[in-house]
Structure 1
Amino acid sequence: MKQLTFLLLCVGMLFGASQASAQTADKSKGGPNAEVKESTFKVYGNCGMCKKRIETAAKELPGVSKANWDMDEKKLTVSYEDTPGALKQIKEKVASVGHDTDETRAKDKVYKALHGCCQYDRPNSN
């Protein structure tokens, strides 16, 4: 009986150690156990259509759980899995739908295709 108890205890410890190792691996690559970070940065736009477009673009990326663009402050707050390059990817995604950020400029062709009320005064450089 003691041998069976000892054997079950050993199996349980091995299983627990493998689970902890898997969780550590998930965190380093992103995934369900990655650390969630919140960042706020400048995003240019004007109206409710801009808000929807900006927030939708950000939330389309894997790992982004929240996106809220403040129309008055022209700032986007995002919650996302803190993986290498994640914030840069979010800014590039927002720029890809026509909205300049503090670091990424939208392509002229995409910006010019925005609805007239969405064409904000563009900053000189990013």
Structure 2
Amino acid sequence: MKTIKNLLTAVVVLLSVCVSNAQIKNKTTKTVKINGNCSMCKQTMETAANVADIAQLNWNENTQTATLVYDKEKTTSDDILKRVAKVGYDNERFIAADGVYNKLHGCCQYDRKIKSETQVK
């Protein structure tokens, strides 16, 4: 049953990425590590990162990775990852400010494993 659920989730994710990417020009795709725990984390970080026709982030809670698809002439992966850190989620490039992380819902407070010199305020 879990395998069927995971397969259906993967299909939905792939279809949504394909549909949403149709508008982005000059596409660059990158996979990055972002800490989080649950579907509420996914919603928060994707809402912060996604910009119509410019950037699309799709985070997988099982693998703790996100696929970034963005217009390389209008934004950068760092710009997207900064927006994710500003809403409380550490990633491979930027660390969320402690105050923002501490305000995350209890289920969204993950073990802070990623270390970086760059803390976003």
**Which position in structure 1 is the counterpart of 2:58?**
68
Please tell me whether residue 44 in structure 1 is matched to residue 35 in structure 2. yes
Please tell me whether residue 114 in structure 1 is matched to residue 104 in structure 2. yes
C-alpha separation in 2, matches of 1:33 and 1:61: 8
Identity of aligned residues (%): 37
Please tell me whether residue 57 in structure 1 is matched to residue 48 in structure 2. yes
| Runs of 4+ residues deviating >2 angstroms | none
Backbone CA RMSD of aligned residues: 2.0
TM-score, L = length of structure 2: 0.70
Distance verdict in 2 for CA 1:103–1:33, change over 3 Å:
closer
Unaligned runs of 5+ in 1: 1-31
C-alpha separation in 1, matches of 2:98 and 2:64: 20
Alignment equivalent of 1:123, drawn from 113, 117, 121: 113
C-alpha separation in 2, matches of 1:124 and 1:59: 22
1:83 is displaced (CA, Å) by: 2.8
Q: Larger % of helix: which?
A: 1
C-alpha separation in 2, matches of 1:77 and 1:70: 8
C-alpha separation in 2, matches of 1:57 and 1:110: 14
**Which position in structure 2 is the counterpart of 1:14?**
none
C-alpha separation in 1, matches of 2:74 and 2:81: 14
1:35 is displaced (CA, Å) by: 1.1
Distance verdict in 2 for CA 1:92–1:73, change over 3 Å:
same
C-alpha separation in 1, matches of 2:100 and 2:24: 36
